Structure 1
Amino acid sequence: MNKTIALISEHASPLAMLGGVDSGGQNIYVGELARQLAALGYTVDVFTRRDDPKLPLEVQWLPDVRIVHVEAGPSKQLPKESLFQYMDAFAAWMETFMERQPKRYALLHANFWMSGYVAMKLKEHIRIPFVITFHALGKVRLMHQRETDKFPEERCDVETQVMQAADGIIAECPQDEADLIQLYRADPDKITMVPCGFSPHEFHPIDKAYARMLLDLHPTRKMILQLGRMVPRKGIDTVIQSLAQLRENSMDAQLVVVGGEYEKPHLHADPEYRRLMEMATGLGVADAISFEGRKNREQLKYFYSAADVFVSTPWYEPFGITPLEAMACGTPVIGAKVGGIQYSVANGKTGFLVRPKDPQALARKLELVLKSEDLQVYLRQNAIKRVNECFTWKKVAQQMDEVYRGLAAPQPDGTADERQTIAEAFVEAADTLRLSADSLADTILRAGKALAKTFERGGKVLVCGNGGSAAESLHFSAELLGRFEIPNRVGLPVISLMGDPAMLTAWSNDIGFNDIFARQVEAYGRPGDMLMCLSTSGNSPNILEAMDRAKQLGMACMTLLGNDGGRAAVKGDINLIVPSRSTQRIQELHLHIIHLLCTLVERRLVDYSANRRASERSSSLVQAMDLSLQQKEKVKYDHAKQKSHIFG
């Protein structure tokens, strides 16, 4: 299976700083999936929009993972809601880029609906299959955002078209799968459920006291953590309201909020931060809330480990990666009963589930967990076990690999597999042509000149080869003995040593095949002639013996070979070696080179003949002029002699 794939993520780059309005779970998903697929032997290109003019075209992020920045729209940060207008340009740029690559992409994996649109357009033009992970669905978003949703109206229609065109659809959780089928009538046979994940190397338990000391947090105070983007749908206001409920119940707890566009939130620059602070002040809990701002990924495990409980109560959530990361650090999770959270959090075992926008229910679960250290230990042990068994990025990549392999497997009628074979053969042939053009142009010129010189000196060319190369030797001799492009030229002395079937069969049957070409070289070859040998391997014994005999006779040897040239390359005076290991591609290029040599030989010989005729005409003119001058001198002499005689 070809393991070169393209991940398309138009607005979410693995290189982006997390925590901003448009950077979060999708950035992590794409980056970690690419990393783990590379570990499974894939070569991955991640295509994302260039949003900064300083970004290079390509970044080799990992040995087998490259980030490619696509020119689509202005090179600056734009809200993702305004990007759809640039997706046709994104697709056109990608298509041009992909056509220049040495190896064909086997599969596209689109992330988000706009990337799905790009993949759909690419499939129409270059017939590459694609799968898509939507990460969020327009119809679900509209249910919760209503008039505040700023995406184009056509989003839901585009999502439907993408689902129909996609070869596979990735649902991140049971709720996601149900929404795809019920809201969009997606084909259930196309859908595979593959969850999101976490990295055990990145997130693991750390001693709570040590984590708090590093972060300069209170060593013993009950701590609630909320971590993620600071946007209204994440439900941070619900957590603040529940904190006020806890205070009314005489429980002293601190809420730490990590995330946002800024390292430290600003009242004037961040409207959501301003709204939340106003709410906290009005509820009298502003002194118990710490807004930490955006943090590096390396710091997050310390925040997770420092907390007594992690809270994630969005209005809706396609999956939600932060609960996994918290559980991996051994922190119980209280999450909203929505999307992927209700799938990843095992209610009563790794944490608890509550309705979104219900601060009273959240406050009750928080109080239950914060008051019982035994319950915290129980939830902690189950959380670590569950995420490591079910939700590592390694496991996610393995499941995705099965999806990819399923799409690459032959269809019942074999059509898809045959179409892929055809496409790959054309790409491989084009690649071989391009590489040969780069490496052989000078040698082909030299070979054409040498052949023409052989004919100009009155020599001849003997040609030999086995199997498919035997057919090409006959082809070459026919083109030069007859004509190739220039009509009415003289025939050229080219002998294919495969041209006498009776001799070939008799000699190989009675004597042996190893010296069948050498015997003919001995009979026909003369000093100044050339032997031309065609071989894909360069190691055929009869070719090697023929070259040895030609050298003994004072003949030059030219070869058309492949791979590394084999032993024939050591014996050849001019070696045309096609840079390929495929016998089919080598023979195809041999024919192409033969045609080029015929063109060069004909043009050089026509030029030579024209020059020789011009030279002969010039010589005749000089001779005529010399004769004329001689005649004039004789007349003058005779006239002078006669005059002398008369006047004595």
Structure 2
Amino acid sequence: MITELKTLFSEHRRTLYLLCQQFYTHEDSPFLLRSDLHQLFDLFIQTEQGQLLKDSAVEELFCSLQEASKNEPWIYLAARSTIGHWNYYRLHSEEIEIDEIDVSEYLEFKERLVGYEAPSDEYLLELDMTPFNREFPKLQEARSIGRGVEFLNRHLSSKLFVEKREGSRKILDFLRVHQHRSTQLMLNGMIEDVPGLQAALRKGVKFLKNCDEDTCWDDVAPTMMSYGFQPGWGRTLEDILEMFHMLMDILEAPDPQNLEKFLGRIPMIFSIVVVSPHGYFGQENVLGLPDTGGQVVYILDQVRALEKEMKEQIYRQGLDIEPSIVVLTRLIPHCGDTSCNQPEEQIAGTSNATIVRVPFRNDQGEVINDWISRFKIWPHLERFSRESERKLLETIGARPDLIIGNYSDGNLVSFLLSRRLRVTQCTIAHALEKAKYLFSGLYWKENPEYNFQTQFTADLVSMNAADFIITSTYQEIAGTEESLGQYESYSSFTMPALYRVINGINIYDPKFNIVSPGADDRVYFPYYDEENRLTELHDELHELIYGDHMEGSRGLLDDKDKPLIFTMARLDKVKNITGLVECYAKSERLREQANLLVVAGSIHVDHSSDAEERYQIETMHRLFDEYQLDGQVRWLGKHLQKNKAGELYRYIADQKGVFVQPALFEAFGLTVIEAMATGLPIFATQYGGPLEIIVDGKSGFHIDPNDNEEMAEKICTFFERAANHPQYWKVISDACITRVEENYTWSLYARRLLTLSRVYGFWKYVSNLEREETRRYLEMFHGLMFRNLASETQ
């Protein structure tokens, strides 16, 4: 493309000079975003001179631009030609010349624009993961991103087929290593080589075919063990035969589907550790506290689903083993009305899943008593991981089989634990802060309260060290054609005076897998399921919404006949609750049609120790006062237990209300799933997970949280249409319920996650998926960069 651009710049100097001058009309910032650039070019192309560039390579370039940096006479451009593929250009606005440059030069120019210029005799560290990934198979098509395990299975099947002798031997060796405590599983020493395995399989099949249909493993165990087989092949005759046949087919001619199905049935996962240090992790009275929200709900539901699925799978494998799951979090002695000061806590709804809490300690080894913001916990994590390791081995009685990290801090701890214990590591970001805050890397020094430099370093270490990464949506990895994904934002960026990231992560890496969570169907079920409704709560819910003033509330609804617009979230900047309140306040039409119910945070500034939440509380009160909202908005600063929250959704659905999720960005959106599952029509942000969850106009509506007028218009239009056509509300409601039932359930999630852990465990064994070179590089980066940054945390 650069050749074509150079020709155009030579032939249309006058036109391109005028175009370049348009960049300098934006004097407020040295940086232009995609929306600015598109607006700039759209206006220019309407001019007589601009018409000359229509359908040209210049127009193609502008369509792909994500960002521009300018300092007259230079203009630097970042173009995203397709998802995950970037090119960088430099324009001279006086000479009218264009050159393609590398990412390092582009980042260096941005650094100069914010006042940093590296001395000529100094070297700024550059992080580049490219050399470590050259020999590793990569996805080629953008549509395949997030389906890494499918790609690996195809690749492995092909490799096993081509290298049949060596591949079969690796499968044999892999089947030999499985045991639980002192019990050998799958194969014993009777089978010495691949021909011996194939002969034993044929002998086993012949024997089993002559057994009764109701035969189980215990009935044939002595004979099977004499052939070389140990427990783990299945409980019933049908399951054992199916496993034997699958393995015979794989040894003869492997195919991806058969391989994944076979690996998914191998007894490998008996104990799991889930890591989530920050916030208040508990089962009661924690939601809405600082740094405590959807992630807690996600993990508790995840653990229940995983235990249920593990039990079913272990039983089917013919084993009598009780699985165990430990949620590792921080112990907080001064934790208010929560259980976060208890060292251990059984998870309700499980038989052997426990919350294990380990304290943070200072340099003298003394326990730190109070909550610490997620932005400030970095100095404590390494010491926390070492104490946690001892506690986990004591609790489980052995090394866990899988460690799942959550958010930046949990992912870093999972890296430290899995490195020492040599255990498969899975990471789940939930939300990467870098994608939430514009230019957060570039201006890291100007935002010391967030400690972005430390968090982004932790993210780079953990995401590259992970054996596999779970995301809830495609967008989380790769964004859309128009916008980059959360993980993609780590592919290249700079933190001036600290280091440049030349290649931080490759979103075409097969470690990425989309596994969407669901809503707890015991709690979030349709409003018309009268048999399971908690109608005993209705008087209390009515009082919460329509009652007189009570502690922790503001606003008394004057007109109780209006339908409700409901929102519920943490009270922070990104969740944008104050943005929704302002949208409602400024729309007379919306205020005439509906009341607004807000369940978020606290109404008292002095009840919060989080600076961001305190500011949002102050903003809420200012909006109430400025727009006189007390008769139309009810604000509850309460933390509702999930059963009560589930019935509240349904109670509002009874009154033909709606749910609005107005976040500036939402990685997934559990509240969106929960509301939809109950049948409450949904309006949710178009930035992040809800864009994929909702089919716009059918199972809900996308809203732009940055455009209050458009948001109000969409909600108003819905209420007007529902008033004129009573069936319309039900059509959308039914579609919401169906969408969740077909795509977002915890049983599907648990089954998929366990399969992934087995497949990647197999890959680590039979290939170089351990990525030893990468691991050593990351250990050095962690030791030399992260530790220093963590020690300087403010």
Give the 5 Å matches for 1:18-33: 18-33=287-302
Letter in 1 for 2:278: H
Q: Does 1:125 align with 2:411?
A: no
Q: Which stretch has the larger CA shift, 40-49 or 369-378?
A: 369-378
Q: Distance in 2 between matches of 1:249 and 1:256?
A: 13
Select the residue among 716, 730, 733 that pairs with 1:380. Answer: 733
Select the residue among 339, 344, 357 that pairs with 1:69. Answer: 357
- TM-score normalised to the size of structure 1? 0.60
TM-superposed deviation, 1:99: 3.5
TM-superposed deviation, 1:378: 0.9
SS in 1 for 2:567: strand
On the 8 A contact 1:225/1:310 being kept in 2, the answer is: yes
On the 8 A contact 1:332/1:380 being kept in 2, the answer is: yes
Residue in 2 that maps onto 1:340: 689
Residue in 2 that maps onto 1:55: 341
Residue in 2 that maps onto 1:293: 637
Q: Distance in 1 between matches of 2:439 and 2:660?
A: 20
Change (3 A) 1:356 1:200: same
Select the residue among 229, 233, 251 that pairs with 2:574. Answer: 233
TM-superposed deviation, 1:24: 0.5
TM-superposed deviation, 1:351: 1.2
Residue in 2 that maps onto 1:395: 748
SS in 2 for 1:95: helix
Deviation digits for residues 571-619 of structure 1 (CA, Å, limit 9, x no counterpart): xxxxxxxxxxxxxxxxxxxxxxxxxxxxxxxxxxxxxxxxxxxxxxxxx
On the 8 A contact 1:9/1:115 being kept in 2, the answer is: yes
Q: Distance in 2 between matches of 1:116 and 1:411?
A: 19
On the 8 A contact 1:328/1:384 being kept in 2, the answer is: yes
Residue in 2 that maps onto 1:3: 270
Q: Which stretch has the larger CA shift, 210-219 or 226-235?
A: 210-219
Q: Distance in 1 between matches of 2:709 and 2:571?
A: 22
SS in 1 for 2:684: strand
Letter in 2 for 1:286: D
Q: Does 1:321 align with 2:674?
A: no
Give the 5 Å matches for 1:414-493: none
TM-superposed deviation, 1:249: 6.2
Higher relative contact order (CA 8 A, sep 6+): 2
- TM-score normalised to the size of structure 2? 0.49
Change (3 A) 1:249 1:156: closer
Q: Distance in 2 between matches of 1:115 and 1:198?
A: 23
Select the residue among 609, 627, 633 that pairs with 1:283. Answer: 627
Residue in 2 that maps onto 1:183: 490
Unmatched runs of 5 consecutive residues or more in structure 2:
1-267, 311-322, 335-339, 362-367, 479-484, 492-504, 547-559, 608-613, 773-794
SS in 1 for 2:302: helix
Q: Distance in 2 between matches of 1:298 and 1:10?
A: 25
TM-superposed deviation, 1:356: 1.7
Q: Distance in 1 between matches of 2:403 and 2:433?
A: 22
Q: Distance in 1 between matches of 2:403 and 2:453?
A: 26
Select the residue among 146, 151, 159 that pairs with 2:459. Answer: 159
Residue in 2 that maps onto 1:351: 700
TM-superposed deviation, 1:267: 5.1
Change (3 A) 1:267 1:81: closer
Residue in 1 that maps onto 2:783: none
Residue in 1 that maps onto 2:145: none
On the 8 A contact 2:399/2:421 being kept in 1, the answer is: no
Residue in 1 that maps onto 2:651: 306
Residue in 2 that maps onto 1:220: 561
Change (3 A) 1:412 1:112: closer
SS in 2 for 1:20: coil
Tell me the C-alpha RMSD between the 2 structures.
2.6
Change (3 A) 1:287 1:293: same
TM-superposed deviation, 1:415: 7.8
Give the 5 Å matches for 1:494-513: none
On the 8 A contact 1:347/1:353 being kept in 2, the answer is: yes
SS in 2 for 1:81: coil
On the 8 A contact 1:5/1:108 being kept in 2, the answer is: yes
Change (3 A) 1:301 1:51: same
Q: Distance in 1 between matches of 2:298 and 2:452?
A: 24
On the 8 A contact 2:584/2:590 being kept in 1, the answer is: no
Residue in 1 that maps onto 2:599: 258
On the 8 A contact 1:21/1:231 being kept in 2, the answer is: no
Residue in 2 that maps onto 1:519: none
Select the residue among 701, 705, 710 that pairs with 1:361. Answer: 710
Q: Does 1:139 align with 2:434?
A: yes
Q: Does 1:15 align with 2:315?
A: no
Q: Does 1:201 align with 2:542?
A: no
Change (3 A) 1:235 1:183: same
Q: How many residues align?
A: 415
Q: Distance in 2 between matches of 1:271 and 1:156?
A: 25
Residue in 2 that maps onto 1:631: none
On the 8 A contact 1:200/1:388 being kept in 2, the answer is: no
On the 8 A contact 2:666/2:690 being kept in 1, the answer is: yes
Give the 5 Å matches for 1:80-99: 80-99=374-393
On the 8 A contact 1:51/1:78 being kept in 2, the answer is: no
On the 8 A contact 1:243/1:285 being kept in 2, the answer is: no
TM-superposed deviation, 1:76: 2.4
SS in 2 for 1:2: coil
Give the 5 Å matches for 1:497-536: none
TM-superposed deviation, 1:33: 0.6
Q: Distance in 2 between matches of 1:333 and 1:249?
A: 16
Deviation digits for residues 84-111 of structure 1 (CA, Å, limit 9, x no counterpart): 1100011111222234342321110000
Residue in 2 that maps onto 1:537: none
Letter in 1 for 2:380: Y
Letter in 1 for 2:475: Q
TM-superposed deviation, 1:279: 1.4
Deviation digits for residues 236-273 of structure 1 (CA, Å, limit 9, x no counterpart): 2232233234424672321000121x4xx225544422
On the 8 A contact 1:57/1:68 being kept in 2, the answer is: yes
Q: Distance in 2 between matches of 1:64 and 1:250?
A: 50
Residue in 1 that maps onto 2:471: 171
Residue in 2 that maps onto 1:36: 305
TM-superposed deviation, 1:200: 1.1
Letter in 2 for 1:215: L
Select the residue among 322, 327, 330 that pairs with 1:46. Answer: 327
Change (3 A) 1:395 1:356: same
Q: Which stretch has the larger CA shift, 335-344 or 214-223?
A: 214-223
More helix by share: 1
Q: Distance in 2 between matches of 1:385 and 1:214?
A: 29
Letter in 2 for 1:5: I
Letter in 1 for 2:296: N
Q: Distance in 2 between matches of 1:343 and 1:174?
A: 8
SS in 2 for 1:251: helix
Letter in 2 for 1:6: V
TM-superposed deviation, 1:401: 1.5
User: Greater Rg, structure 1 or structure 2?
Assistant: 1
Q: Distance in 1 between matches of 2:662 and 2:425?
A: 33
What is the percentage of aligned positions where both structures have the same residue? Answer: 22
Letter in 2 for 1:303: L
Unmatched runs of 5 consecutive residues or more in structure 1:
420-648
Q: Distance in 2 between matches of 1:45 and 1:182?
A: 32
Q: Distance in 1 between matches of 2:698 and 2:768?
A: 49
TM-superposed deviation, 1:309: 0.6
Change (3 A) 1:221 1:249: closer
Q: Distance in 1 between matches of 2:705 and 2:590?
A: 21
